[in-house]
Chain A
Amino acid sequence: MTVALAVPDVLVARAQAGDEAALEALYRAFETPVYNLARRMLRNAEDAEDVLQETFLEVVKSIRDYRGEGYLWGWIRRIAATKALMRIRRDQIRATEPLDEEHGKTGMHVAANLDLERAFDHLTDTSRAVVWLHDVEGYTHEEIGELMGRSVSFSKSQLARAHARLRGLLGEGEGAQA
C-alpha cells in the first residue's frame, strides 16, 4: 500500500505541544498503515491491534523527541516494526521455537495454486517479517538486522528461504531451482 508521507509541519508542531485534535489527526492518518504493517508481520489480528495501540502510545509519549529528520511515517513505522518484532520474539520464546525454524513444516501439503496471500501466511513469523520489511517497506538488510538484533546475513538468508518457500507453495515451475 502507498502511504501519504507528507504531514504538515504545523500538525506535527501542534501534536508536539499536546494538542489532542492534532494527535487524533496523526492517529487517523497512520492507523491503517501501522495496522497493515503489523498485521502482515504478525499472524494474529488481535496482536496487530495491540501493536497499533502500543505504537501510538509510544508516539504520544515521544512525539516531542521527533525532530523532523526524515518523514514522520518513517519514524512511526520504525516504532511499529520494533513493537511487532518484540511480539514475535516474545511468542517465539513462549513457544521455544527457534527463530529460523519453518512454521508448520510437518504435514505441509498446500495446494499448488495457493494464492500469494495464503502462501505468505504459511511462512514463519520471522520470515514474514523479513519479507514484508524488505520487499514491501523497503528496509535494507542492515536495517532489518539492526531491528531484529541479528546479522545482515541472517536477514538475507531468511529472505532467500522465504522466497524459495513462497515459490514452492505457489507451485511455480520446476525450472532452475533445485
Chain B
Amino acid sequence: MMHCTMDDLLALRAGEASVWARRHVEDCTACRAELDGVYQRVAQLKALPALRPPRDRWSIVRDAARVERAHRRRTWSVWSLAAAAALAGVLLVPRFGANGTLHAELSRAKDQSATLEDQLQDYDVDGRVVTGRTAARVAELEDQIAVIDGDLARWGAIKPQTQDAELVKLWQQRVDLMRRLVNVRVSSARYVGL
C-alpha cells in the first residue's frame, strides 16, 4: 500500500495537499499517526525555552549609536554649508536692478537663518533626554530642513547665477522651520529646567 511522503504530510499541514493525500490520510491510521507526529514536533519546537544572550552587548551598540548620531549631524551640517554656498553664489552676483527687493529678502532670510542656527546650538545638546512627542517633532523638523537644504544645494549647482522668488521662498521656508525647531528646543529646555 502506498503511503504519504513527508512532502505529502507537510502539504497536509499547510492545507495544500493533493486530493489523493487528503483521502488517504482519512483511511490510513499509520499516515494519520505520522501527521500527528509532525504536528507534535512543531509544537515541541515552538515550546523550546528561549535562549538568552550570555553577555550584554548593549555598550557596543550604544557606542555605535553615538557615532551614527554624530555622523548624521555632520551630514546635516554639510547640507547646511552646501545651502550657504549656494546662497553665497547668488549673493556674489551683481544685483539685477529690478531684483533689488529679492536680493534684500534673500539677505534677510540668510541672516535670520544664521541667527537661528546659533540659537539652536545653545539648546541642542547631544544625548539630552526629551519626551517622545518632542523627539518626534524635532526629527520631523530636521527632516524637513534637510529636504530644503538639499533643494537649495541643487539650486546652487544648477542655477548658481540666478535669484528669483522661488529661491527666496525656499529660504523663507527654511527660516520658518528653523524658528519652529528652536521653539521646540527652547520649550524642551524649559521643561527639564535647563
Contact surface of A with B, Cβ cutoff 8 Å: 1, 8-11, 13-14, 16-24, 27-28, 31-33, 35-36, 39-40, 45, 48-49, 52-53, 56-57, 60-61, 64, 116-117, 120, 131-132, 135-136, 156-157, 159-161, 163-164, 166-167, 170, 172-173, 175-178
Residue pair B48, A64 in contact (C-beta under 8 Å): no
Residue pair A16, B136 in contact (C-beta under 8 Å): yes
Q: Please measure, in the bound complex, the distance between the C-alpha atom of A178 and the C-alpha atom of B4, giving whole angstroms.
A: 10
Chain B, interface residues (CB within 8 Å), range: 35 or more
Taken residue by residue from 124 to 142, chain B's Cβ proximity to chain A (1 for < 8 Å, 0 otherwise) reads as 0001011111011011000
Using CB atoms, name the residue of chain B closest to A21.
B129
State whether A64 and B6 are in contact (beta carbons under 8 Å apart), knowing that A13-B132, A23-B62, A32-B52 are contacts in the complex.
Answer: no
Given A18-B135, A31-B57, 12 more pairs with CB closer than 8 A: A13-B136, A14-B131, A14-B132, A17-B130, A17-B139, A19-B130, A21-B129, A23-B61, A40-B48, A136-B46, A160-B7, A167-B41
The one of A24, A31, A60, A135 that contacts B42, using a Cβ cutoff of 8 Å: A135
Residue B50, interface by CB 8 Å: yes
In the complex, chain B residues whose CB is within 8 Å of the CB of A117 = 48
Residue pair A176, B4 in contact (C-beta under 8 Å): yes
Residue pair B135, A167 in contact (C-beta under 8 Å): no
Min CB distance, B171 to chain A, in Å? 25
Residue pair B48, A116 in contact (C-beta under 8 Å): yes
State whether A167 and B37 are in contact (beta carbons under 8 Å apart), knowing that A27-B61, A60-B68 are contacts in the complex.
Answer: yes
In the complex, chain A residues whose CB is within 8 Å of the CB of B176 = none
In the complex, chain A residues whose CB is within 8 Å of the CB of B42 = 135-136
Interface-central residue, B34, B54, B65, by most chain A CB under 10 Å:
B65
Q: Please measure, in the bound complex, the distance between the C-alpha atom of A61 and the C-alpha atom of B81, giving whole angstroms.
A: 24
